Amino acid sequence: MNAVPFTVNVPDTVLADLRDRLARTRWPDEVPGAGWDYGVSLAYLKDLAEYWRTGFDWRIHESRLNELSNVSVEIDGLRMHAIHQRGHGPRPLPLLITHGWPSTCYEAIDLIPLLTDPDDPADAFDVIVPSLPGFGFSEIPAVPGMTSTRKAGMLVRLMEALGYDRFGAHAYDVGASMLSVMCLDYPDHIIGYHTTEPANAVSYTAPALPPLTEAERAYLDLQDKWYAEEGGYDLIQATRPQTLAYGLNDSPAGLAAWILDKWYTWTEPPDGDLGKHFTADQLLANVTIYWATGTINSANRGYYEREHHPRQPAATDKIQVPVGIALTTQAIERAPREYLERFFTDIRYWRDLGTGGHFIMLEHPELLAESIRAFFRQFR
C-alpha cells in the first residue's frame, strides 16, 4: 500500500471530443417562462455549454490540481487517488476531508491552503482529500457491494498507507455517510469529527427512546417533504443507475444538467442566480472531472449499493468520538440537537454558520476553514 505520485492529465483527445459533442447537442423544448421550475433552465444551460465549448480552459484547473501533492495508493485491489498536502507548522494535525455527490476533490481546492498554511502555524493541518472510490481520479470498482461501510474501511487503510494511524476528519453528504460509519467501526482512529451534515449518520429512531420531541417530529416531516420534492435523483440512482448512465455518459450537456440541478437547488440561491455563488469555471471544473474520467455511473451506483446492501442501524449504534457540528442554511441539514444527540454522544462544538449551502466547501472556504480550525484546537 505504498503511495506513488499522481499527475492529473486529461488527454487532448478527450477535451476535443467534449467540445465536439457540445457543438452537436440536441436541445429539448421548454415551457416558455419556466426558468428553473421544471429543472435546469434551458437558457442557463445553453449559455454554460457554449462557454464550456469555447471559453473554458480545463488546463488551468488541471494545473491548479497538479500544484498540490497528488498520490495514488492501491487499497483492497483498487487504485485510489488523493490530494495529500503537508501543513506548514510545528505539528500539523492530519485531517481527512471527504467530498460528496455530485462533487469531486476539486471542491476542496480553495479550502486546502487555508488549512495547510494558516495565519497561525499552530493551526496547520496535513490535509488529505481522496477521490472517493468510483469518483473522479480513483479507479472505478468492478464489483458490487461498494457500500459506505466498505468504503469507510478503505479510507482508514488509505490514511494508514499515508502514515496516519489517528487523524481528524471533516465530511458532508455521502462523505458524511462514510465517515459516520468510520466513527462507529474505527473510533480509535478518529481524533475528532467535524461535519456540516450531521444527520447523514447511521441513526436509530424506531422505537424512539426517549420519545421524539416536537422539534424532532417536525424535522422528520421535513425530511419526508424534502424527499418527495427533491428525491427523484436518489430513487432512480438507487434503482436503475445503469439505465440513467447511458445518457449521462454520452451527453456532456445531459451530465451537466444532472449535476448542476443539485448545485442549484442545494445552494438555495434566494435570487435564483447560481452565478452569484459559484463561477462558471468552478462549476465546470467539477463537471469536467466526471466527464473526463467517465465516473458518473460508478458515483451514482453508490445509491444502489446503499439500498441493496443496507446497513441496519441498531439502538446500540452510538458515535462516541468527539464531534463538531457546523450548520449551513440548508433546512434539511439543520437537524435539532436532541435528534443528533441520539447517536452523537460527545458533541463538543456547535455553530450556526449563518450562510452557505450544501457545497459550502467551495462557496465559503474561509468560513468553513475557520470552523474546522476552531473545533480542532482542543486536540492540539
Domains, the chain: 4-379 (3.40.50.1820)
Of 248, 280, 284, 269, the residue nearest 104 (C-alpha) = 284
- Asked if the model's pLDDT at residue 186 lies above 70, the reply is yes
Band of residue 205 on the pLDDT scale cut at 50, 70, 90: low
Task: Supply the mean pLDDT for the chain.
Answer: 96
What pLDDT is stored for residue 375 in this prediction? 98
What global pTM score does this model have?
0.97
pLDDT digits (tens, 9 = 90+) for 282-297: 999 999 999 999 999 9
Higher-pLDDT residue of 34 and 316 is: 34
- Angle ∠(115,120,126) on CA atoms, nearest 5: 30
Q: Which three cell numbers stand for residue 291?
A: 466527464
What pLDDT is stored for residue 204 in this prediction? 67
Band of residue 356 on the pLDDT scale cut at 50, 70, 90: very high
Q: Point out which residues pair with 325 in neighbouring strands.
A: 195, 350
What pLDDT is stored for residue 312 in this prediction? 81
Give the integer Cα–Cα distance in Å for 203 and 199. 8
First-to-last alpha carbon distance for the chain, in angstroms, is 28
Question: Which amino acids are annotated catalytic?
Answer: 173, 303, 358
Asked whether the beta carbons of 46 and 30 are under 8 A apart, the reply is no
- Asked if the model's pLDDT at residue 203 lies above 70, the reply is no
What pLDDT is stored for residue 290 in this prediction? 98
- Angle ∠(212,213,215) on CA atoms, nearest 5: 120
Q: What is the mean pLDDT of residues 301-310?
A: 95
What pLDDT is stored for residue 202 in this prediction? 67
Sheet of 347-352, strands arranged across: 4-5, 70-75, 78-85, 125-130, 93-97, 167-171, 190-195, 323-327, 347-352
- CA Rg value for the chain: 20
Q: What is the mean pLDDT of residues 331-346?
A: 95
What pLDDT is stored for residue 314 in this prediction? 80
